[in-house]
A and B are shown apart, each in its own frame.
Chain A
Amino acid sequence: SQTIHQWPATLVQPVGSPLSLECTVEGTSNPNLYWYRQAAGRGLQLLFYSVGIGQISSEVPQNLSASRPQDRQFILSSKKLLLSDSGFYLCAWSLDSFSEQFFGPGTRLTVL
């Protein structure tokens, strides 16, 4: 069966520090991968998605970036965090564009 992992579960970082959140999927090959952010009262915002290794589509211009170094690994990064980067970050995967997405447990990021 397929599983999706995210870490860390919680993170407290100072403004201006770097960020690296990792997401890995097991039990499937060549999945579509997604990064979302939930800020308080603002719903689910798609940040990046990837349909293959090295293929990243950005939905929102900001100081975040994403990379897919391996088929089942998706990394969200920032060189310098802003206060507005605080939120709940969710990684998800799907078999293709028409299938349901399966979500990881999320990372709660607080930038102070």
Chain B
Amino acid sequence: AQSVTQLGSHVSVSEGALVLLRCNYSSSVPPYLFWYVQYPNQGLQLLLKYTSAATLVKGINGFEAEFKKSETSFHLTKPSAHMSDAAEYFCAVTPVGDDKIIFGKGTRLHILP
């Protein structure tokens, strides 16, 4: 069965530092990949998605993610963290031919002043 693994349920970075949130998927065929962000007591919002057009995907709020087939990874990065980036981030995958998205367990990002 397909799965998504997010390393680290909590990640803390200082304001202005690099943000790196890790995501690995299990699939023999490159799937569709997504990153979502959830602010407290709200629904999820799409940050970016990979659909095979380009391996480096740029999203909203300065985030980007790079698809690496050899590593089956889709890590999320942002060069300089801002206090407003504090939220929970979910990596998700839609296996080719499936009707639903599989979400990772989420990583809560804390920004230190």
Interface residues of A (CB under 8 A from B): 32, 34, 42-44, 46, 49, 51, 57, 59, 88, 90, 92, 97-98, 100-106, 108
How far in angstroms is the closest Cβ of chain A from B21? Answer: 14
Q: Chain B at the A interface: mostly helix, strand, loop or mixed?
A: loop
- Are A90 and B105 touching (Cβ within 8 A)? no
What 0/1 readout, one digit per residue, does chain B (38-53) give for beta carbons within 8 Å of chain A? 0001111110010100
Interface footprint category on B: 20 to 34
- Are B105 and A43 touching (Cβ within 8 A)? yes
Interface residues of B (CB under 8 A from A): 32, 34, 41-46, 49, 51, 90, 94, 98-101, 103-106
- Residues on B with C-beta less than 8 A from A104 are 43
Q: How many A-B residue pairs have CB under 8 A?
A: 50
- Are B106 and A44 touching (Cβ within 8 A)? yes
- Residues on B with C-beta less than 8 A from A108 are 41
- Residues on A with C-beta less than 8 A from B106 are 43-44
